[in-house]
Amino acid sequence: MALIACPECGRQGISDQAAACPACAYPLAPQAREPVGRGGRPQPVATVEQTGKRWKAMKVWAGLLFVGGLLVIFGNVRTPPSTAGIVFGVVVLLASFVLAVRAAIGAWWHHA
Ligand SMILES: [Zn+2]
């Protein structure tokens, strides 16, 4: 158990187990206290994190596709080269570029 200060009226020495500030009745329940302190806005932060993860996942997929495309191309550059295999690799590479651009634009769009 620790003693905290009320974020609303600044009163010191309040138990962190207290449901509300004894001086101003400001709610101090853990779930209410965490996000509200210092004027933080919990909802937008959570939303940004979620969309951020979405675009990060998209970038990871783009990277995997890029590596996969390179592997397919190099795997088919031999004698005789497999044209269909190289074309498939190029298509996978292009898809990874499209996905990367889409993720970059999406992240920019949702953050700006
Ligand atoms: Zn208070």
Lowest mean pLDDT among 4-8, 45-49, 71-75: 45-49
Contact 55, 106 (CB under 8 A): yes
Distance 38 CA to ligand 1 centre (A): 13
Quick check: 63 pLDDT over 60?
Answer: yes
Distance 29 CA to ligand 1 centre (A): 13
Closest CA to 96 of 59, 65, 52, 70: 65
Quick check: 101 pLDDT over 70?
Answer: yes
Closest CA to 70 of 47, 53, 90: 90
Distance CA 64, CA 61 (A): 5
- Calculate the dihedral angle through the C-alpha atoms of 34, 37, 40, 41, rounding to the nearest 10 degrees: 50
Reported as a single tens digit per residue, the pLDDT across 8-41 is 999 999 988 888 999 999 988 765 445 554 555 5
Lowest mean pLDDT among 10-14, 23-27, 92-96, 104-108: 104-108
Lowest mean pLDDT among 32-36, 52-56, 104-108: 32-36
Residue 65 is predicted with a pLDDT of 94
Distance CA 50, CA 44 (A): 10
**DSSP secondary structure code for residue 78 in this structure:** S
Cα of 1 vs its chain's centroid, Å: 33
Quick check: 105 pLDDT over 80?
Answer: yes
Distance 62 CA to ligand 1 centre (A): 50
Domain coordinates of the chain in residue numbers? Answer: 1-41, 53-109
State the DSSP H helix or E strand holding residue 28, giving kind and residue range, or none if neither.
none
Residue 108 is predicted with a pLDDT of 85
Distance 25 CA to ligand 1 centre (A): 6
